[in-house]
């Protein structure tokens, strides 16, 4: 079995920390809408996350992360080439295999609803 290793620079912030402190930084109370600046920054972070996932999916072989959550998204304060987002937490990552599902992999609360639905259907069928 092949093993893959990732070496990267130290990133001191995670998206989890950013999401926790972002409302305070923008002087926003719980339940209030984001202003246009906060919204724009949030969209930029999301765009970079999508680019990271797209990169993994376009590799040959394709890599599926399987544990994408705020804890596994790092923010590089220095940013290189206009990019600040880095993915980590590749412990559950796998090479894409069309012949098998990964419904039972991931962190509860961050698994896509359609994946949970498939997993629940499979469990119901196996209980019958």
Q: Which residues are catalytic?
A: 67
Give alpha helix (H) positions in the chain.
15-25, 36-58, 113-127
The beta strands (E) that lie in 2-128 are given as 13-14, 63-64, 73-80, 83-87, 94-95
What's the CA gap between 59 and 66, in Å, rounded?
16
- Length reported for the chain: 128
Nearest alpha-carbon partner for 19 in 67, 65, 68, 71: 71
Nearest alpha-carbon partner for 19 in 1, 34, 36: 34
């Amino acid at each position: 079995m092949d093993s893959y290793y990732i070496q990267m620079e130290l990133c001191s912030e995670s998206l989890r920390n950013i999401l926790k402190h972002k409302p305070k930084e923008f002087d926003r109370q719980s339940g209030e809408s984001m202003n246009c600046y906060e919204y724009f920054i949030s969209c930029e972070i999301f765009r970079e996350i999508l680019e990271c996932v797209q990169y993994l999916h376009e590799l040959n072989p394709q890599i599926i992360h399987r544990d994408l959550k705020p804890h596994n998204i790092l923010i590089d304060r220095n940013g290189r080439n206009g990019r600040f987002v880095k993915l980590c937490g590749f412990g559950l990552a796998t090479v894409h295999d069309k012949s098998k599902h990964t419904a039972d992999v991931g962190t509860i609360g961050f698994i896509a609803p359609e994946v949970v639905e498939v997993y629940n259907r499979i469990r119901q069928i196996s209980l019958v």
